Structure 1
Amino acid sequence: MYDKLEQRSFLATLVLVTLAFALLMKPFFGPIFWAVAIAVIFNPVQQWLGRRIAGRPNLVSLITLVLCLVIVILPALGLISSLVAEGVTLYQRIQSGDVNPGQWLDRIRESFPVVETFLDRFDIDFNKLRESAISAVVGGSQFLASRAFGIGQNTFQFMLSFALMVYLAFFLLRDGHRLVELLIVALPLGDDRERLLMSKFAEVTRATVKGNLLVAVAQGALGGLIFWVLGISGALLWGVVMAIASLIPAVGAALVWLPAALYLVAVGDVVSAVVLVLFGVLVIGLADNLLRPILVGRDTKMPDYLVLLSTLGGIVLFGINGFVMGPLVAALFIAFWGIFIREFNDSAGDPFEHSGEADP
């Protein structure tokens, strides 16, 4: 009896200490999460280098981290700074009256009255929709402008988070396999289940970041390029917006280039509108279907509806980190239930596996 009380008291204290440690780490959630993501994504590179530079784990991890900085992180920081600069310029032009989003929408309504009629059937007031769209554009540009001011004020905080991420990524690249084995020993879920879950975690993280992010960059670059070719102002800004929109399955970059095509028709530039629509459908739209299977692979792809819901839910709960964390939580949900069904209800089979073959 006393031994059971001791054990339960220890487990309760363990839970409390773990929760306290989690709260302690909460301010550094972003840097920790992205350090883990870097270690998972670049683990194959680190292993490849390790086979060629045997016995030098510190050097291997350092080279891997430098490659990550040069190939991914520094270009991303440059792109973000350019985006903020474009947003500041747009906000200034809106404030000065050079850019009038309301005028754009009015021209679309005048050229396509069927749009307003269609919205009326669903009791959607075009004027309210117009005001919401204007507020979104102004608010977005104002947000970027405030970010530019905030970055200047919070340079130390940004540099601290960035340095912490790089520092943690180095040690996770070097000692990540040991930490995984330690977790497998510590967690009371069964070693086979834990290895399966760890494998799923790494698989989905690589698929989501490497696949979705690279596809988004490709679609954003293609969108920005066609905007620049057609002479649409703010091509860099809209290219980045399309890249961000591409993270949302099903709708993607069409949220940007389709309204732009409608506006071109409204102002009488039909040729440019046709070129934009054809390029959007045949090039930007197909980039996802062509690149995602190559970068991700069919075996890790979840149903489109689940990807859409988990991505949107993740962004709502976790902010920009949610485009990775949402699908990751969904994949772990499927993995846990798959394990449960296989081990506790063998007769039902695994509903997440579709062989496409009829039962004999």
Structure 2
Amino acid sequence: MSRRFEDRMFLALIAGATLLFLWLIATFFDAILWAVVAAIIFAPLQRALMRWRPDHPNSMAVLSLLTLIAVVIIPLMILSSFLLQEAALLYQGIQTGKIDFTQYFDQIRHALPRWARLQLNRVGWGNLDGVREQLGSLLSSSFQTLAAHALSLGQRAASFLLSLTVMLYLSYFMMRDGPRLSSMVIGAVPLHPARRVALAEKFAAVVRATIKGNMVVAVVQGALGGAIFWALGIGGALLWGVLMAFLSLIPAVGTGLVWVPVAIYLFASGAVVKGGILVFCGFFVIGLVDNFLRPILVGRDTRMPDYMVLISTLGGLELFGMSGLIVGPVIAAFFLSVWEIFITDRARLSAPAVREEEVKP
């Protein structure tokens, strides 16, 4: 039996064992993913703690984990509780008629100038009764769906707590053993050492910058949007803020999908001052956060193009659900890293040949 055949069989055995293990842990995919994300985000804190107490890796990992719980987990739980309460109140208002979309449409239609109403009649939109009923039915059914999901989440509380426990447990070991684990993974990649190191460095930089930039910008824009809505007395400020945080992942127009329609309603209903304040804050407070904060967090060299962020985020959401917010940009970062290294290698290898042709008579 040849040595080459034995090597191929061993590689097949490695591939089979890896696929079998991935199938085994697929149930905890989300928990593992968020543990890796937590370890990446809190790696600078862990390194700082290790410089302070290099002989106590376990204790320093516990401190990092407690920081994660205090800064991320507990605030998210409190926010989720308030969010569910506000969604329930909003749904109850729709059901009891306190929130009347017919009234909102009437206010907008009567506030429009005469030429605008004539234009609506010309295009067949003068009678909005059917549109109002459809929109009210759509929103009502949407809140019913959200309520059903909330009930489902309540019924699956044990599964959620198990996933959360697994995530925190893995986060501890990834924070403690992060450098050693990453070195093992990099060393096992069957590539030329130079390409392996370049790929690992570029991939880590892009992933860390993308995750940090997207998450922090989303939180800041959502918090600012919710605070502005609350200050202007707009109902459901917490819901709007959370929605703006999610939509901020869509480049350029994300948060505008929320505050622009609300500003139009404020102008049409006669609240011109509030509408003007919302437009000003939308452009010069919420909108400029992305332009100023993201380059600081991400950097110009590691920032992915906006179109790549958009398609990777939407594709990730479609394939992986909420975890796609991370998985999509990570896959895109891996794609960009591989091709950048390939293009760099091609340019370096072709440069001598080009110079030789230039010196030929």
Give the Cα–Cα distance (whole angstroms) in 2 for the partners of residues 108 and 209 of structure 1. Answer: 40
CA distance, structure 2, for counterparts of residue 160 and residue 223 of structure 1: 33
Q: Which residue of 2 aligns with 1:64?
A: 64
Shift of 1:39: 0.7
Asked if 1:287 is matched to 2:274, the reply is no
- Distance in 2 of aligned mates of 1:115 and 1:161: 55
1:181, distance to aligned residue in structure 2 (A):
1.4
**Which residues in structure 2 correspond to 1:201-280 (within 5 Å)?**
201-280=203-282
Higher mean alpha-carbon deviation, 39-48 vs 218-227, is at 218-227
1:152 to 143, 151, 154: 154
Rounded to whole Å, the distance in 1 between the matches of 2:160 and 2:201 is 32
Query: What is aligned with 2:307?
Result: 305
Distance 2:209 2:138 in 1: 31
Contact kept? 1:41, 1:205, Cα under 8 Å? no
The one-letter amino acid of 1:259's match is P
Q: Which has the larger radius of gyration?
A: 2
Question: Do the aligned partners of residues 221 and 176 (structure 1) sit closer, same or farther apart at CA in structure 2, a change above 3 Å counting?
Answer: same
Pair 196,84 (structure 1): closer, same or farther in 2 beyond 3 Å: farther
Q: Distance in 2 between matches of 1:45 and 1:348?
A: 43
Contact 2:316 2:325 in 1 (8 A): yes
User: Contact 2:31 / 2:167 at 8 angstroms: preserved in 1?
Assistant: yes
CA deviation vs aligned residue, 1:147-170 (integer Å, no higher than 9, x gap): 332232111111101110000000
Query: C-alpha distance in 2, partners of 1:196/1:106?
Result: 61
Q: Which whole-Å deviations, capped at 9, do the CAs of 1:203-240 have from their partners, x for residues lacking one?
A: 23322332221211111111111211211111111111
C-alpha distance in 2, partners of 1:278/1:36?
A: 39
Matches within 5 A, 1:334-349: 334-346=336-348
Aligned counterparts, 1:96-135, within 5 A? 96-101=96-101, 103-105=103-105, 107-108=107-108, 111=111, 134=136
> Is contact 1:41–1:206 with CA below 8 Å preserved after alignment?
yes
Displacement of 1:199 after TM fit? 2.6
1:21 corresponds to 2:32: no
- Aligned length in residues: 346
Q: Deviations over 1:79-131 (max 9, x none)?
A: 1222122112211222222223465356546655869979x99xxxx999867
CA displacement at 1:285 relative to structure 2: 0.8
TM-fit CA distance, 1:71:
1.3
- Offset, 1:252: 1.4
Q: Measure, in 2, the Cα distance between the counterparts of 1:133 and 1:294.
A: 41
| Alpha-carbon contact 1:84-1:147 (below 8 Å) kept | no
- Whether the 8 Å contact between 1:31 and 1:164 is mirrored in structure 2 is yes
Q: Is contact 1:204–1:327 with CA below 8 Å preserved after alignment?
A: no
What value does the CA root-mean-square deviation take over the aligned residues?
2.8
Report % sequence identity.
48
- Taking structure 2 as the reference length, the TM-score comes to 0.86
Q: 2:196 matched to which residue of 1?
A: 194
Q: 1:242-301 deviations in whole A, cap 9, x for unaligned?
A: 111112112111111111111112222122111111111111111111211222222211
Q: 1:258 to 1:206 in 2, by over 3 A?
A: same
* Bigger mean CA offset, 44-53 vs 200-209: 200-209
Go from structure 1 to structure 2 and tell me whether the alpha carbon gap of 1:46 and 1:235 turns closer, same or farther (over 3 Å shift).
Answer: same
Q: TM-score, normalised by structure 1?
A: 0.87
Q: 1:128 to 1:341 in 2, by over 3 A?
A: farther
Shift of 1:48: 0.7
Q: Secondary structure at the match of 1:300?
A: coil
CA distance in 1, matches of 2:239, 2:309: 26
Q: What residue number does 2:358 align with?
A: none
The more displaced of 302-311 and 96-105 is 96-105
Distance 1:348 1:223, change over 3 A: farther
Provide structure 1 residue ranges, at least 5 long, that are not aligned to the other structure: 350-360
Residues 1:250 and 1:128: Cα distance change in structure 2 (over 3 Å): farther
What is the match of residue 32 of structure 1? 32
Residue 345 of structure 1 deviates from its aligned partner by 4.7
